[in-house]
Amino acid sequence: MMPDIFTLVDRYLDGLFAPEDEALAAVHETARAAGMPNIAVAPNQGKLLNLFAKLIGARRILEFGTLAGYSAIWMARALPEDGKLISLEYDPAYAEVARGNIARAGLASQVDIRVGAALDTLPDLARDETEPFDMAFLDADKRNYPGYFEWALKLVRPGGLILADNVVRGGNVLVPGDDPDARGADEFNRMAAADPRCEAVVAQQIGQKGHDGLAVVRVR
């Protein structure tokens, strides 16, 4: 079956603006070998995360959901030499694969992967990491996005960014029904739209990953 026009355009844009090097390509290979789901961000979205980090001069980034380390590599490459990215991953096996990929990319000294349910590990992180984060990226289980968002608002500095992937869910946020991930995304969207501590927008996306959206939230 021929790829649809959205996939073809994505490939065109990826080739121009976000070509993958060996380290990034290896993430896909190791993820497949480990039987991990194919849900990492697309290359052009990885480049977008990289540019957002550079635009705000990010030194400290917090990521919710490591998977195989693809988005972490894109974001960590935007950091200065003394920068730090902390990534929260629930699955120990995923974290092990990600650590190998991040080390292969030469970023092991800048990326710290913490294993466990994020809502359980965040209190310790908040206690130990006294310096605020410049940017947070939410790309974990959507049903817990509301809780992750509350923590991100506490941990990200004024003027910093909170980005959240998969907040349209193929349009399922219109009628979430009994889908817990669609309900979580819908609740997150409503929180981001109404919270006076931030200003936000969601960019709807259609591409090789299907129909979804990326939330961009600026902390006031």
Provide the b/e sequence for 114-134 (b: ≥16 CB within 10 Å). ebeebeebbeebeeeeeeebb
The one-letter code for the residue type at 90 is Y
Strands 133-138 and 84-89: unpaired
pLDDT at residue 30 in the model? 98
Q: Residue 3 has what pLDDT?
A: 74
pLDDT means per 10 residues, the chain with 220 residues, are: 84 97 98 97 97 98 98 98 98 98 98 98 96 98 98 98 98 97 98 98 93 97
Q: Which DSSP symbol is given to 40?
A: S
CB 101 within 8 A of CB 25: no
Structural domains of the chain sorted by starting position, each given as residue range(s) with its CATH number in brackets: 5-219 (3.40.50.150)
Burial of 20 (0-12, 13-18, 19+ CB in 10 A): middle
Would you say how long the chain is, in residues? Answer: 220
What is the reported pLDDT for 2? 60
Q: In the prediction, which pLDDT does 147 show?
A: 98
The tokens for 34 are: 């480990």
